[in-house]
Amino acid sequence: MSFVTKLADIAHKTVVTTCLGLFTFQAYQLITQLRIGTDEQKKKEHPQAGFIKMLRDKYAEEYEKYWDTGHRDWYDKEDDSYLKKLPRPQDYQPGGKRN
C-alpha cells in the first residue's frame, strides 16, 4: 500500500470515529435532559392542585351524605347560609393569591 492509501484510511477512520462519538455524546445529553425534565416536573405542584383537592373533598362529603335521608339538601328563599360554604379562590390557591 502506498503512503497516500494509508493516510486516507487513517483519515476515514478518524472521521467515522468522530461522527460516532459525536452521535453518542448527543444521545447522552438528550437522555440526561429528558431525565432532568421529568424530575423537575414531578417536583412542581400542579397549578390547580388545590382546586382539584377541594373538588375531591366536596365529592367525598357529598358521597357520605348520599344514603343519609335525614340531611337537608334544599334551602329556603331567604336562607343564604349555602353561600358561605361556596369555595373561594383564596381557599384552594397556594398562598391565597389569585392568578
Domain range annotation of the chain = 1-44, 46-68+82-99
According to the model, what pLDDT value does residue 85 have?
76
Q: Is the pTM of this model over 0.75?
A: no
**Cα(85)–Cα(82) distance, rounded to whole angstroms?**
5
| pLDDT category of residue 17 using cuts at 50, 70 and 90 | very high
Q: Is the pLDDT of residue 25 over 70?
A: yes
> In this predicted model, what pLDDT tens digit does every residue of 41-89 receive, in sequence order?
666 777 788 888 888 988 888 777 777 766 666 656 777 777 777 777 7
- Residue at 57: amino acid letter: D
Could you identify the residue written with the cell 340531611? 71
DSSP string, the chain: --HHHHHHHHHHHHHHHHHHHHHHHHHHHHHHHHHHHHHHHHHSPPTTHHHHHHHHHHHHHHHHHTT-TTS-----TT--HHHHTS--HHHHSGGG---
